[in-house]
Amino acid sequence: MTFGACAAPSPASAAETLEGLRIDSAATIAYREEVHHPALAEPERAHGLMWVTPDGRLIKEQAAPRREISEIGKDFVSVREFPEDAANLLPIPPEARRMLDALRAVMSGRVGSVAAEYAPELTEVRPLWRLRLAVHDDPEYLPVFLIGCGAELRGMEIREPGAVRRLILFDRQP
Amino acid sequence: MTRLSLAALVALGLAAAAVATAEIDTDARALLGDDGSIVSALDTADGRSALLAVVDADRERRNAIARAIVEDLADEPMVARASAGVMTPPPGLADWLWRERFTLSPPPPPAFASEAMTMELMSARAALTSVGGGGLAHYYLLDPTGSFRRLIEALALAAGGGLPVADGVVQSLDDRAALVTIELAARPFDVDAQRALDRSIIEHVEHAGAEAIMVGPRPIAARVSAGLERSSKIVAGVGGGLLLLWLVAVLRSALSLARVCLPLAIGLAGAVLAVQTVFGSVHVVALGFGGALTGLALDYPLHLLSHARTGGDMARTRRLILLGASTTGVAFLSLLGAGIPAIGQVGLFVAAGLSAAAVAAIAIGVEGESRHAWQSPRRTPPPAIRWKLPALAILGLVAGAVVSVSSGPGTRGLFELPSAVTESIAALDRMIGLPSGRYRIEVEASTLGSLLAQQRRLEKVLAEARAAGAIGRSSMLADKLPGGDDPSLPDVEAFAAALSGGLRKAGMREGFGAEIIDAYRKALQGPPLGSGEVAPMAGPLASARLVRVEGDRLVATVSLWDVADPARIEDAVRGLSGVRFIDEQTALSERLDQLIARIGVCFLIGIAGCATILALALRSVRPVVEILASCLAAAALAAASLAIVGDGISVFTLIALALVVGIGIDYGIFLTSSEDPEASAVALSSVGLCASTTLIAFLVMAFFGTGLLRDIGMTVSIGVAATAVASSLRQKWSVGRG
């Protein structure tokens, strides 16, 4: 999965990168996802749509490999699986809370909140910039990376326990 | 006047010292001691749990209120956790479940078939792209037996407790209420703090336009205590007012009134300081109950005034007052042996208070009090009778028989639940189907594996009981977990052989097999889950009423619903090792019976001490027999009356009976030891004055108090009236007095 080429000038700092981001929180975004794990010869792939509801819940409607609609709130994730149409409400475990919070904040365009709750660090500037979001008070917590070009957020990389790397590419810009 | 001024200064000084140093203790454990299973239950996970129902027909509105309450409580130091939805798993739970998966969810033999493991690995891969399973998929990939996945799915299913969830908020079965579960912080129970918290939560809900129903051991205990306090204030206000009016009417002198009240004030302040010094704090029960009993201290200055105004022998009166205070004090000091901190404090409080008041009354004296014509004893005392002791013996026997055939003392709790509380519990029961509060089963084992095995055996027994209609349903940890009876797992080599080839078929790297086999080996080699291994998760497991750690044992509660035939269930589980059927009401009755028996033994010892002191002081056995016969028969009559028209004998009414004995001894000393008719008439007048003040105070309690206070008031009123009448009748001995 590639996040595309970039001709925009490199950002000078993490703050400048975040301040320059243009995110339309009302937009419905098409995404592609790749999940890498040491056990897998090939990554798992998925795609679908994402959007944020006015009350701040992130809806992730996965079309393939299996249809699934997830509603990510502050404390709970509601998952509806198809074709069974089975719904389940799951409390978000502490291990996943910050990652999902970051995802919701970014998709909602709450860049200020991201800057306040995480320690943004610019790790790459060319050709795409990569912004590492580490948790202020939890150095052990696995980081989230924002990947973009100029004012565009192209995607995210989320590190999860068990050496899982989740790459999310936004086909249309959020 | 000088003595009075000095006494007023002493009273003020002692009161100031008492206020400055006394530490009021409301910890309910002091009532039954640290091993008291009744009240110390407030300090268990169950005891600290509470449930709030936000009742409103509009689901969206009630959910919003429930969420707002939870947000508010997040910053409340008295609350450990609050949730309107399924409780969020605590940090580390996933890792702990992973390590212990084979104990909690042993894979069945078919899970080790090569094809089954391949299918499981493919499911694990698919979980990587699911929001529901994504966070745990790396564990799923390491466990081709599916043990961990099934465990997580089963726990997620059980998390809602069988109740519907709407917008992340748990709902009542009748869709009328949003439910908030509250786990209170592990602090000692404090009535005022708990009431303040409960009120703020309820006001928040009501302010938002909904109805609040809140139940839980601590909120209920706080409401009971608050009700008692309210009732006590009414009784104190009305009783105090009437008593003051009566004393003004009788004494007709401000100085005399001061002579009566100052010893009481000195006695109360001295009692507080004595209890504070010995126990390090003053329990609210000792302060309230002991304070009421110390009201007996009014009798001492009244005796002095009455004798002074009727020309009685003052030196003898002072001697008898000291004798009365010392005998009553000894009777109450015996409560120190009851082994219950709050009850022991009541004993010390009364003994110290009465002693201080008696000394103060004598020290203040009656200087300036003159003979009052209107108070002169006009009536000739009744003649001595032969049948007094036989009549008292018959009365005592009949009353004893009535008490013995009435419901046992243990059938009453320490406190009664106000009707508002029982209505709240009933309303919540209709909404969510509460399990039985009376019956439950406890399973105990040294390891979690053996505990689950015991529960699975119990499940079969309960299924039979259910089929026979003895029980509606049950709930326990084992029925929330997957897994069967056969925990035998293949060795590592057999597991590796079954796995080989499966990885490639599932589209996984062969090299990952080593990690899977290593994870399997570690799970097999894990030590049995004892209390030490469960301890890190003890909090969350206990708050979910699943398992708690007690020393080196694990204890799990099995909740029961609709118990129709408890005897059958008790019989059925009797043969199961480590399984106990618990009837809370019976256990409570037994505990209270033991408590009452202990207090009874203490009083018997105290009365024996009183008898010895009396015999030594009066140098004669006959008056001692007469005094004790009068007050014991009066106490028996009061107990029988309570058994017939009251709610039976409780711990507190038993102590009230002891007060009857104490008052009876005091009256008896004056009436029985009066040698001539004139002295008898003076003593009769004095006792009449004392009895009238006592009756005013306790009749107000009987008529204006509720529950416990009403029973105490009735007990003392009947007992005091009976003991006054019995003591005023003199026994005619056939031979000379000896």
Q: In terms of Cα–Cα distance, which of A59, A51, A37 is closest to A166?
A: A37
Closest partner residue to B126 among A65, A73, A75, by Cβ?
A: A65
Angle at B456 between CA B452 and CA B461, to 5 degrees: 140
Q: Which residues pair with A155 in a beta bridge?
A: A147, A169
Q: How far is A135 from chain B (nearest CA, A)?
A: 16
Eight-state DSSP code of residue B518: H
Residue B220 tokens, joined = 């209920």
Tokens of B604: 């018997």
- Separation between Cα atoms, residue B310 and residue B379, nearest integer Å: 12
CB-nearest to A93 from B89, B137, B503 is B89
Q: How many residues does chain A have?
A: 174
Mean pLDDT in order along chain B per 10 residues (738 residues): 85 91 69 47 74 93 92 89 77 84 90 93 91 82 94 80 78 91 86 91 95 90 78 80 87 87 91 91 76 77 85 84 88 79 84 92 83 56 77 88 68 61 83 85 91 90 93 89 76 92 88 94 86 73 71 89 92 90 81 79 86 86 88 90 77 81 87 76 84 86 76 88 86 58
CATH number, domain with residue B200: 3.30.70.100
Q: Contact, B286 vs B252, CB < 8 A?
A: no
Q: Where are the alpha helices (DSSP H) in chain A?
A: 14-20, 94-107, 111-117
Dihedral sign computed on CA atoms, order B689, B694, B700, B702: negative
The answer to whether the Cβ–Cβ distance between B132 and A92 falls below 8 Å is no
Same domain, B74 and B191: yes
Contact A40 B509 (CB under 8 A): yes
Evaluate whether B276 touches B726 at the Cβ level (below 8 Å). Answer: no
Q: Which of A42, A76, A166 sits opposite B168 (nearest CB)?
A: A76
- 3-class state of residue A7 by DSSP: coil
Structural domains of chain A ordered from first start: 14-46+94-170 (2.50.20.10)
Task: State the Cα–Cα distance between residues B110 and B513, nearest whole angstrom.
Answer: 20
Same domain, B62 and B130: no
A45: which chain B residues are within 8 Å (Cβ-Cβ)? 129
To the nearest 10 degrees (0 to 180), the angle between helices B299-309 and B314-333 is: 160
Total number of residues shown for chain B: 738
Q: Same domain for B57 and B205? A: yes
* Cβ(B421)–Cβ(B223) below 8 Å: yes
Cβ contact B168–A38 (<8 Å): no
User: Smallest Cα–Cα separation from B330: which of B602, B598, B597?
Assistant: B602
Distance of CA B609 to the CA centre of its chain: 31
Q: What mean pLDDT is reported for chain A?
A: 85
Question: How far does A4 lie from chain B, in Å, by closest CA?
Answer: 23
Q: pLDDT value at position A166?
A: 92
Q: Is residue B734 included in any domain, yes or no? A: no
Question: For residue B434, how many other CB atoms are within 10 A of its CB?
Answer: 15
Q: Tell me how far apart the alpha carbons of residues A98 and A141 are, in angstroms, rounded to a whole number.
A: 9
Q: Are residues B112 and B182 in the same domain?
A: no
Contact call for B131 and A66, based on CB within 8 A = no
Element at B15 (helix H, strand E): helix B2-21
Whether residues B665 and B696 share a domain: the answer is yes
The tally of domains found in chain B comes to 3
Cα B525-B530-B533 angle, rounded to 5 deg: 75
Give whole-number Cα distances, B219 to B40, B48, B51, B180, B228, in Å: 15, 9, 10, 14, 14
Whether the upstream peptide bond of residue B108 has omega within 30° of 0, thus cis, is no
Those residues with Cβ within 8 angstroms of residue B174's Cβ, 6 or more apart along the chain or in another chain: B430, B431
Residue span of the structural domain in which B467 resides: 93-159+439-482+493-562
Q: Does residue B666 sit in the same domain as residue B620?
A: yes
**Amino acid identity for residue B124 in this structure:** A
At position B662, the amino acid (one-letter code) is: G
Q: Are residues B355 and B305 in the same domain?
A: yes
pLDDT in tens, A80-115: 888 877 777 777 777 677 778 888 888 888 877 888
- Return the number of other C-beta atoms located less than 10 Å from residue B274's C-beta: 20
* Interatomic CA distance for residues B395 and B640, integer angstroms: 10
Cα Rg, chain B, nearest whole Å: 34
| C-alpha distances in Å from residue B274, one per residue of B337, B352, B587 | 17, 7, 35
For residue B163, CA distances in Å to B155, B430, B433, B519 come to 14, 13, 10, 36
B99 in a structural domain: yes
Among A72-76, A143-147, B137-141, which is the least confidently predicted range?
A72-76
- Between CA B351 and CA B345 the distance in angstroms is 10
| Spatial separation of the C-alpha atoms in residues B481 and B154, rounded to whole Å | 6
Query: Looking at the domain assignment, is residue B428 inside a domain?
Result: no
Count Cβ atoms within 10 A of the Cβ of residue B492 and give its class: 0-12 exposed, 13-18 middle, 19 or more buried: middle
Report in angstroms the alpha-carbon separations of B107 from B147, B517, B520.
Answer: 5, 15, 12
Minimal CA–CA distance to B531: which of B547, B513, B553, B503? B553
pLDDT of residue B410: 46
What is the pLDDT at residue B34?
Answer: 44
The answer to whether A88 contacts B87, with C-beta atoms less than 8 Å apart, is no
pLDDT for B294 equals 67
User: Same structural domain for residues B234 and B362?
Assistant: yes
Q: Which two tokens stand for residue A146?
A: 């924002």
Helix (H) or strand (E) run with residue A90 in it: strand A86-91
Does a structural domain hold residue B735? no
Distances (CA, A) of B617 to B323, B526, B625, B665, B673: 8, 75, 14, 13, 11
Whether residue B211 sits in one domain with residue B151: no
Residues of A in contact with B134 (CB under 8 A): 35, 160, 164, 166
Confirm if B706 and B688 have CB atoms less than 8 A apart: no
Q: Which long-range contacts (CB under 8 A, 24 or more apart) does B17-21 make?
A: B17/B269, B17/B273, B18/B268, B18/B269, B18/B272, B18/B273, B18/B276, B21/B273, B21/B276
Query: Residue B575 domain-assigned?
Result: no
DSSP 8-state symbol, B577: T
pLDDT at B39: 46
How far is the C-alpha of A91 from the C-alpha of B159, rounded, in Å?
A: 9
Q: What is the pLDDT of residue B143?
A: 95
Question: Helix axis angle, B314-333 relative to B651-672, nearest 10°?
Answer: 160
Tell me whether strands B282-283 and B24-25 are parallel, antiparallel or unpaired.
parallel
Distance CA B47, CA B50 (A): 8
Apex CA B729: angle with CA B726 and CA B733, to 5°? Answer: 115
Pair B244, B369 in one domain: yes
Tell me what ipTM this predicted complex has. 0.91
Q: Is A81 close to B132, i.e. CB distance below 8 A?
A: yes
Contact residues, chain B, for A91 at CB < 8 Å: 85-89, 159
Number of Cβ atoms within 10 Å of the Cβ of B706: 16
Q: Least CA distance to B139: which residue of chain A?
A: A162
Task: Give the alpha-carbon dihedral of B403, B405, B411, B415, to 10 degrees.
Answer: -20
The answer on B61 and B17 residing in a single domain is: no
Residues of A in contact with B88 (CB under 8 A): 75, 91-94
B713 shares a domain with B593: yes
Give the model's pLDDT for residue B604.
86
In a 13 Å sphere around the CA of B10, the CA atoms on its Cβ side amount to 22
Query: Any CB–CB contact under 8 A between A1 and chain B?
Result: no
Contact B598, B459 (CB under 8 A): no
Q: Nearest-CA neighbor of A154 among A34, A32, A41, A48?
A: A32
- Does residue B55 sit within a domain? yes
**Angstrom distance (rounded) from CA B421 to CA B214:** 9
Q: Is residue B577 part of a domain?
A: no
Q: Of all residues in chain A, what percent carry a pLDDT higher than 70?
A: 94
Is residue B348 within 8 Å of B287, Cβ to Cβ?
no
Q: HSE on the CB side for B114, CA within 13 Å?
A: 11
Are residues B42 and B189 in contact, defined by beta-carbon separation less than 8 angstroms? yes
**Which pair of tokens denotes residue B449?**
């594996």
Distance between B116 CA and the closest CA of chain A, angstroms: 18
- CA-to-CA dists, residue B337 to B340, B343, B492, angstroms: 8, 9, 63
B487 belongs to a structural domain: no
Token readout for B279 is 């126990």
**Residue appearing with tokens 């910053």:** B75
Is residue A88 within 8 A of residue B132, CB to CB? The reply is yes
Q: What pLDDT, on the 0 to 100 scale, is given for residue B380? A: 67
Interface residue A77 vs chain B (CB under 8 A): yes
